[in-house]
Chains A and B, each alone.
Chain A
Amino acid sequence: MSRLPFYLIVGLLLLVGIAASVHRHVQFEIPWLPGEQRQVWEIEAVINFNAQDGPVQVDLALPSHQAGYRVLTENTASSGYGLAYKADELGRQAEWTIRNAAGSQQLYYSVQMLVSPDARSPVQTPPELSTVPPWESPYDTAASQLIDRAWARSANNATFARELILDINGERQGENARLLLTQEQPSPLIVRLLNQADVHAREVSGLLMEDGRRRQTLSSWIQVFDESAETWTLFNPTTGEQGKPDNLLLWETGGRAVLEVQGGTNSRVTFSMLTHYQPASAAVRNHYSDDTLLNFSIHSLPLEEQALFQTILLIPIGALVVVFLRVLVGVKTSGTFMPVLIALAFIQTTLLTGLIGFLLIVAMGLIIRNYLSYLNLLLVARVSAVIITVIAIISIFTVIAYRMGLSSGLTVTFFPMIILAWTIERMSILWEEEGPKQVLVQGGGSLLTAVLAFLAMNNPWVRHITFNFLGVQFILMALILLLGNYTGYRLLELRRFKPITDEEKSS
């Protein structure tokens, strides 16, 4: 049996992989290293609504240049719709129109924002104070009492706003605030009270940027005009914290609705986002214009799918680590690729929380599974019972972690529950048959593999390479094929077979 075809395939894969990577490096100036670059956020907004078989007009607020971010390019996808961009002093808007539409509709808007710390927001003038509709009794006294209290404890507009937010949302929430909250949502209420006290304030919508997030919605923030500094300052309407978080992109600042749909129902807009790094020169250039077959790239996919691929493309790295540890080292794991899934969960939870969570869940699961074995159930029923147990454990841990103020504990929900249930089942059988030592060996092996896979997959350089150079996947494939052909000794076998070589020496 000739091994020639095998080596030909491996050689071909290596060649294709290296050529594709070099091509991408040369053609698109994507550097091998992730550093020395400009960060670009790609944000995609998807508008969903049901058209009512008639004319439809959709208005979506659009982000503008602002402190920290600059608009690079923007695109829309909306078949059959007429499109116009409008801009006024309150901000920019996209307006889609169509004479006749029926059924479920989807409109896309995507924008590239360049992160530039030196970007400044354009000169801002305070708007006219909107006329505040008067409160009815007894709300009017509650409102004026709230304003008076906060006013007395503050020195300027900013501190006044902070005190007001704390009175309405914070621990100091009193009866007056609770009474007013029956009439309005917190954010509009705060703005209304600020306006009532002749302070320029408005409610704005912002997007918290997190890499690879999908189906996000805008959050509400409050801007207060500081007359002495002639700038708007931003407040978090729940905590009263002042200042803009670095990862907050203001989407709509005019105090208008983000999405308005005429002629449709059930409208909503969701956001997906993704960050990647580009050389400063390429960042300013729109490089999707010359899409050819050679440039076949997942970067031409919609953002939501790209964000998904960013994780998917890391899985081969995890698989390579598993193959390496099993074939070359001889580590025993419980379930071949279970460690990769655990490592994926670690990426969401961070390593320490992930490890603690994993150990706690498996330990608790083993105890409960031990009891289940007395019940003498059929296998499928027993594993299903373990799955429910795992879900229960995760819920309890999440609630306890939240109560104790450990927000990182909330991420244990990222663990793949079915896989955990099977792990517990396998470990438990192993315990009964081979004793706790084997459980430690295999469990430890799995954890070690998971940690190594996590370290490899979480490495910024690895993330950069796998996402930007699809050719790397061919190289990984070739490496794994080569490892699958390895007939030499495993590292741990050098220890296992040691006694045999000893006697040769003595005889």
Chain B
Amino acid sequence: MSWLKNWTWPTRLRDKGIIGMNRRNIRYIGRYNSRRLYPLVDDKLKTKLLAQRYGITTPELIGTVTTQFGVKHISEMLSGHSGFVIKPAKGSGGKGILVIEKVQEGIFIKPSGVSLSIEDIERHVSNILSGLYSLGGSPDVAVIETLINFDESLMAYTYEGVPDIRVIVFKGYPVMAMMRLSTAASDGKANLHQGAVGVGLNIATGAALRGVQFDRPCFSHPDTGHDLASLVVPQWDTLLHLAAGCYEMTGLGYLGTDMVLDRKHGPMLLELNARPGLAIQMTNGEGLRRRLDLIEHQPDGVPVAERVAFAQHHFARQSELVETPDTSSATA
């Protein structure tokens, strides 16, 4: 029965506390995420303005384009900015995000080295407005924000793209975290199913627990060759506090927060997700069930600092990457 090798039993998954799609939808998203709050996170512009009000750091807003007429004035808006990012307010899955690293004499250069003209930029913005990248194709708004000056300490762990940190926040408690490192296979995108490396992070310290690419364990970055065991996210406490604060900000009980580390400003909130995926269980090698059950029994109204401390205390784990150095170096 060779084809059975790739399958497991439901009881084994339940023992590990793995949460399936149906359970996530009914038990957590359906119960803790009120539908009327979705627009807050589905619209990146709203999220951004809300975050500013709650004192949560986000990349600085250069401006927005709301009408096709406004597209013609985009060059005035961009003048004086050397690097910027244009994204659709209602885009999903990283679609329609255009990153410009630097501007040289009216030529816009992407991180990959491809150069674009102002007409290309205008066309992209026009596409965003017509709803090319938004959910359901509804008309959209283009948001232009400053380029993140990515923290150099993590540069060695990524290929081309910006590594982001996903923290699942349940009822205000950070329950699980992972870092997504783009690879050549994922084309500089931080999407796990396209081949990005997912690194499970210890909630207590921000240190790497284990790495996974294409659902299989890996110990070093496939392109840069850098050992994942030494990966520790700097300013981890600040990052957790920011993530946990998003609960008060949105009111969503089951939330995926995507954070990045800026050289100058430290951890920043990039976007929020009301339907975070389940791949984080793969990168942590652990199911969410036990942690979520524990949090469900905690009282409401606990301040952010206490929630973070609670999570760091209860969800601390040993790294699988350094536990057995002999085997890991041999495999690497």
Q: Determine if A494 and B13 form an interchain contact, defined as CB atoms under 8 angstroms apart.
A: yes
In the bound complex, residues from chain A placing their C-beta under 8 Å from that of B12 are 501, 504
In the bound complex, residues from chain B placing their C-beta under 8 Å from that of A490 are 20-22
Interface residues on A, range: 20 to 34
Determine which of A376, A378, A487, A497 lies in contact with B18 in the assembled complex, contact meaning CB atoms within 8 Å: A497
CA distance A499 to B8 in the complex (A): 9
CA distance A434 to B195 in the complex (A): 12
Cβ-based interface call for A495 (8 A): yes
Cβ-based interface call for B114 (8 A): no
Cβ-based interface call for A489 (8 A): yes
Q: A487 CB to closest chain B CB, in angstroms?
A: 4
CA distance A327 to B25 in the complex (A): 11
Determine which of B8, B31, B282 lies in contact with A494 in the assembled complex, contact meaning CB atoms within 8 Å: B8
CA distance A376 to B22 in the complex (A): 38
Q: Determine if A379 and B137 form an interchain contact, defined as CB atoms under 8 angstroms apart.
A: yes
In the bound complex, residues from chain A placing their C-beta under 8 Å from that of B290 are none
Determine which of A379, A489, A503 lies in contact with B285 in the assembled complex, contact meaning CB atoms within 8 Å: A503
Cβ-based interface call for A293 (8 A): no
Whether A433 touches B95, Cβ cut-off 8 Å, given contacts A494-B13, A501-B12, is yes
In the bound complex, residues from chain B placing their C-beta under 8 Å from that of A246 are none
CA distance A159 to B107 in the complex (A): 86
1/0 per residue B265-292: CB within 8 Å of A?
Answer: 0000000000000000110011100000
Whether A487 touches B23, Cβ cut-off 8 Å, given contacts A500-B18, A503-B285, is yes
Determine which of A488, A494, A498, A500 lies in contact with B281 in the assembled complex, contact meaning CB atoms within 8 Å: A500
Q: Determine if A500 and B95 form an interchain contact, defined as CB atoms under 8 angstroms apart.
A: no
Whether A488 touches B127, Cβ cut-off 8 Å, given contacts A497-B8, A497-B281, is no
Q: Determine if B16 and A499 form an interchain contact, defined as CB atoms under 8 angstroms apart.
A: no
Cβ-based interface call for A285 (8 A): no
Whether A487 touches B27, Cβ cut-off 8 Å, given contacts A495-B6, A499-B215, is yes
Cβ-based interface call for A485 (8 A): yes
CA distance A434 to B191 in the complex (A): 10
Q: B31 CB to closest chain A CB, in angstroms?
A: 7
Q: Determine if A500 and B132 form an interchain contact, defined as CB atoms under 8 angstroms apart.
A: no
Cβ-based interface call for A26 (8 A): no
In the bound complex, residues from chain A placing their C-beta under 8 Å from that of B6 are 495, 498
1/0 per residue B184-220: CB within 8 Å of A?
Answer: 0000000000100000000000000000100111000
Determine which of B27, B131, B282 lies in contact with A497 in the assembled complex, contact meaning CB atoms within 8 Å: B282
Which residues in chain A, 423-460, are within 8 Å of chain B measured between CB atoms? 433-434
CA distance A498 to B9 in the complex (A): 9
Cβ-based interface call for A404 (8 A): no
Which residues in chain B, 4-58, are within 8 Å of chain A measured between CB atoms? 6-10, 12-13, 16, 18, 20-23, 26-27, 31
Whether A489 touches B215, Cβ cut-off 8 Å, given contacts A497-B18, A497-B282, A499-B282, is no
In the bound complex, residues from chain B placing their C-beta under 8 Å from that of A489 are 10, 13, 18, 20, 22
Determine which of B21, B27, B281, B285 lies in contact with A330 in the assembled complex, contact meaning CB atoms within 8 Å: B21
Cβ-based interface call for A371 (8 A): no
Whether A499 touches B216, Cβ cut-off 8 Å, given contacts A489-B13, A494-B9, A494-B13, is yes
CA distance A498 to B4 in the complex (A): 11
Q: B20 CB to closest chain A CB, in angstroms?
A: 4
Cβ-based interface call for A287 (8 A): no
Q: Which residue of A lies closest to B93 (CB)?
A: A433
Q: Determine if B7 and A501 form an interchain contact, defined as CB atoms under 8 angstroms apart.
A: no
Cβ-based interface call for A296 (8 A): no
Q: Which residue of A lies closest to B5 (CB)?
A: A498
Q: Which residue of A lies closest to B214 (CB)?
A: A499
Q: Which residue of B lies closest to A483 (CB)?
A: B22
Cβ-based interface call for B130 (8 A): yes
Q: A2 CB to closest chain B CB, in angstroms?
A: 13
Which residues in chain A, 367-423, are within 8 Å of chain B measured between CB atoms? 376, 378-379
1/0 per residue A477-489: CB within 8 Å of B?
Answer: 0000000011111
CA distance A327 to B23 in the complex (A): 10
- Of the candidates A490, A497, A503, the one having the most CB atoms from chain B within 10 angstroms of its own CB is A497
Cβ-based interface call for B73 (8 A): no
CA distance A11 to B226 in the complex (A): 59
Cβ-based interface call for B123 (8 A): yes
Q: Determine if A493 and B137 form an interchain contact, defined as CB atoms under 8 angstroms apart.
A: no
1/0 per residue B210-242: CB within 8 Å of A?
Answer: 001001110000000000000000000000000
In the bound complex, residues from chain B placing their C-beta under 8 Å from that of A330 are 21
Q: Determine if A488 and B95 form an interchain contact, defined as CB atoms under 8 angstroms apart.
A: no
Which residues in chain B, 171-195, are within 8 Å of chain A measured between CB atoms? 194
Which residues in chain A, 20-62, are within 8 Å of chain B measured between CB atoms? none
Q: B193 CB to closest chain A CB, in angstroms?
A: 8
Determine which of A488, A496, A498 lies in contact with B23 in the assembled complex, contact meaning CB atoms within 8 Å: A488
Q: Determine if B31 and A1 form an interchain contact, defined as CB atoms under 8 angstroms apart.
A: yes
Q: Determine if A500 and B282 form an interchain contact, defined as CB atoms under 8 angstroms apart.
A: yes
In the bound complex, residues from chain A placing their C-beta under 8 Å from that of B287 are 500
In the bound complex, residues from chain B placing their C-beta under 8 Å from that of A500 are 13, 16, 18, 281-282, 285-287
In the bound complex, residues from chain B placing their C-beta under 8 Å from that of A433 are 93, 95
CA distance A365 to B131 in the complex (A): 21
Q: B219 CB to closest chain A CB, in angstroms?
A: 14
CA distance A379 to B123 in the complex (A): 14
Q: Determine if A493 and B95 form an interchain contact, defined as CB atoms under 8 angstroms apart.
A: no
Q: B125 CB to closest chain A CB, in angstroms?
A: 12
Which residues in chain B, 136-172, are within 8 Å of chain A measured between CB atoms? 137
Further 9 A-B residue pairs, CB within 8 A, beyond A485-B26, A501-B16? A433-B95, A487-B27, A488-B20, A488-B22, A489-B22, A495-B7, A497-B13, A497-B16, A499-B217
Q: Give 9 closest A-B pairs by Cβ, nearest first.
A: A487-B23, A489-B20, A378-B130, A501-B12, A498-B8, A501-B8, A379-B137, A493-B20, A489-B10
Give 10 CB contacts A-B under 8 Å.
A327-B22, A376-B123, A379-B130, A379-B131, A379-B137, A487-B27, A489-B13, A493-B20, A494-B10, A499-B282
